[in-house]
């Protein structure tokens, strides 16, 4: 590239960085221990931590409560207590849905359970889905209630190339069940919780204002993706990735090319998708129609999840890679526009 073009590109890059960094970023909570999911209800924040606690932040006080399960939470590498969804009737019942890792290093599995607060512990009250294949790193783990009232669940591929394309396996899928764990009559495959297939390691779910579902997922080596999720669609993994095409399979809305975003949580801010990025250390913005990707805000921490509120964007960090041991030194932040 000629010198003049390089200079112009550098200036544009700096302008983009300045714009992305213009928001106010403040720490709300420090000393979190590998938080994985954040939700809000009536001004109270709920945070899962991978080791097995579900914290409540209300009136400037943060209280950690252990999660008691019928099968122990296995906190190892990329497994532990992961995703969380407040039940649609949470205000009346206090029910929360959780996704957690269990088993041993030789036999890893994932489960979706329901819990309620019982004194000073969150206690399992029901198992919604069991025996989701597990892996040291690729477990999916996000759970979310859609505008249709159904529960959506992301699962990882477990490095078995056959499973994402196998409708008899729960691995490498987005699942859809009723709030009580049943199979909806209008699911695409009779008697199956599978809503879409051909996923590698999806960790983000969000709906736009028109009810469209989107998912963010980790690629193999680069080629992280944001996909528009449709009923019964096949997103190609491991047969294709990125902008590749194949008969009967869906090409991604946006992808990272040969670089990596390491995307996790996903949110809709009213105009665009916001991707919590671990490797990019901030939030990315994706236009839902064109797939154009830009920096939304640079933070300097590995961002695991983000939610939109009237006060601003709340986000949590996980600054330690699941491939390494040791402290993570994480925080809850608020980003004001």
Q: Residue 118 is part of a domain; what is its CATH number?
A: 2.120.10.30
- Distance between CA 278 and CA 293 in Å, rounded? 16
Task: Report the pLDDT averaged over residues 192-198.
Answer: 98
3-state SS, residue 117: strand
Residue 107: count other Cβ atoms within 10 Å of its Cβ: 9
- Quick check: is 3 in a domain? no
Please check whether residue 164 is in contact with residue 171, taking contact to mean a CB–CB distance below 8 angstroms.
yes
Please report which confidence band the pLDDT of residue 19 belongs to, taking 50, 70 and 90 as the band edges: very low
Measured CA to CA, the distance from residue 281 to residue 294 in angstroms comes to: 13
Domain count of the chain?
1
Would residue 9 count as lying in a domain?
no
DSSP 92: H
CA 71/CA 25 separation, integer angstroms: 39
**Radius of gyration (C-alpha) of the chain in whole angstroms:** 19
Q: What is the pLDDT of residue 18?
A: 38
Distance (Å, whole) CA 176 – CA 150? 7
Assign 93 to helix, strand or coil.
helix
Do 175 and 156 meet the contact criterion of CB atoms below 8 Å apart?
no
pLDDT band for position 323 (cuts 50, 70, 90): confident
Please indicate, yes or no, if residue 15 is contained in any of the structural domains.
no
Average pLDDT, the chain: 93
In a domain, 214, yes or no: yes
Instruction: Let me know if residue 17 belongs to a domain.
Output: no
Kindly state the helix (H) or strand (E) to which residue 9 belongs, with its residue range.
helix 3-20
Q: What is the DSSP letter of 221?
A: S
Name the pLDDT band for 125 (thresholds 50, 70, 90). Answer: very high
Least confident of 10-24, 227-241, 307-321: 10-24
Mean pLDDT, rounded, for 94-101? 98
Q: Residue 20 has what pLDDT?
A: 52
Q: Do strands 282-286 and 273-277 pair parallel, antiparallel, or not at all (unpaired)?
A: antiparallel
Q: Which residues pair with 296 in a beta bridge?
A: none
Share of the chain above pLDDT 90, in %: 90
Taking every pair of Cα atoms in the chain, the longest distance, rounded to a whole number of angstroms, is 67
Q: Which tokens belong to 37?
A: 């999911």
What confidence category does residue 337 fall into, taking pLDDT thresholds of 50, 70 and 90? confident
Shortest CA distance to 37 belongs to which of 267, 287, 289?
A: 267
Let me know if residue 121 belongs to a domain. yes
pLDDT tens digits, one per residue of 133-166: 999 999 999 999 999 999 999 999 999 999 999 9
pLDDT for residue 55: 98
Q: Which domain holds residue 31?
A: 26-336
Between CA 120 and CA 64 the distance in angstroms is 9
pLDDT tens digit string along 236-285? 999 999 999 999 999 999 999 999 999 999 999 999 999 999 999 999 99
What confidence tier does 12 reach under pLDDT thresholds 50, 70, 90? very low
Q: How many whole angstroms separate alpha carbon 322 and alpha carbon 109? A: 17
- According to the model, what pLDDT value does residue 268 have? 98
Q: Is the pLDDT confidence value at 117 over 60?
A: yes
Average pLDDT over every residue of 66-93: 97
**pLDDT tops 70 at residue 42:** yes
Classify residue 8 by its DSSP letter. H
User: What distance in Å separates the CA atoms of residue 315 and residue 304, rounded to the nearest whole number?
Assistant: 7
Q: Residue 76 gets which letter from DSSP?
A: B
Residue 207: closest CA among 188, 192, 223, 229 = 229
CB of 56 closer than 8 Å to CB of 45: yes
| Mean pLDDT, residues 161-174 | 98
Strand order in the sheet with 173-177: 143-145, 151-154, 173-177, 194-197
Could you say which DSSP state residue 165 is in?
A: G
Residue 94, helix vs strand vs coil:
coil
Instruction: Confirm whether 271 is domain-assigned.
Output: yes
In a domain, 190, yes or no: yes
């Amino acid at each position: 590239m000629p010198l003049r073009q390089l200079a112009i590109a550098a200036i544009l890059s700096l302008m983009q960085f300045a714009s992305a960094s213009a928001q106010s970023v403040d720490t709300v909570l420090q000393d979190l221990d590998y938080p994985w999911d954040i939700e809000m209800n009536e001004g109270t924040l709920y945070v899962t931590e991978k080791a097995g606690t579900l914290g409540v932040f209300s009136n400037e006080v943060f209280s950690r409560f252990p999660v008691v399960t019928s099968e122990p939470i296995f906190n190892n590498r990329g497994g532990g207590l992961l995703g969380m969804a407040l039940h649609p009737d949470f205000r009346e019942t206090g029910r929360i849905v959780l996704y957690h890792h269990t088993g041993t290093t030789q036999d890893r599995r994932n489960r979706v359970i329901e819990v309620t607060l019982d004194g000073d512990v969150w206690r399992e009250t029901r198992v919604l889905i069991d025996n989701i294949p597990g892996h040291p790193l690729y477990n999916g783990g996000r759970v979310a209630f859609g505008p249709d009232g159904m529960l959506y669940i992301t699962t990882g591929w477990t490095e078995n190339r056959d499973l994402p394309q196998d409708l008899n396996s729960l691995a490498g899928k987005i699942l859809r069940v009723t709030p009580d764990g049943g199979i909806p009559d209008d699911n695409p495959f009779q008697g199956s919780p599978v809503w879409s297939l051909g996923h590698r390691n999806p960790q983000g779910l969000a709906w736009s204002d028109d009810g469209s579902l989107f998912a963010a997922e980790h690629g193999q080596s680069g080629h992280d993706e944001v996909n528009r999720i449709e009923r019964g669609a096949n997103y190609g993994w491991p047969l294709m990735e990125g902008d590749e095409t194949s008969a009967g399979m869906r090409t991604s809305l946006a992808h990272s090319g040969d670089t990596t975003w390491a995307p996790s949580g996903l949110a809709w801010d009213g105009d665009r998708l916001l991707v919590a990025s671990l490797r990019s250390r901030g939030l990315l913005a994706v236009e839902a129609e064109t797939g154009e990707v830009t920096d939304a805000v640079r933070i300097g921490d590995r961002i695991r999840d983000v939610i939109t509120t009237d006060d601003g964007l709340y986000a949590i960090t996980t600054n330690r890679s699941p491939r390494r041991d040791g402290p993570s030194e994480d925080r809850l932040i608020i980003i004001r526009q």
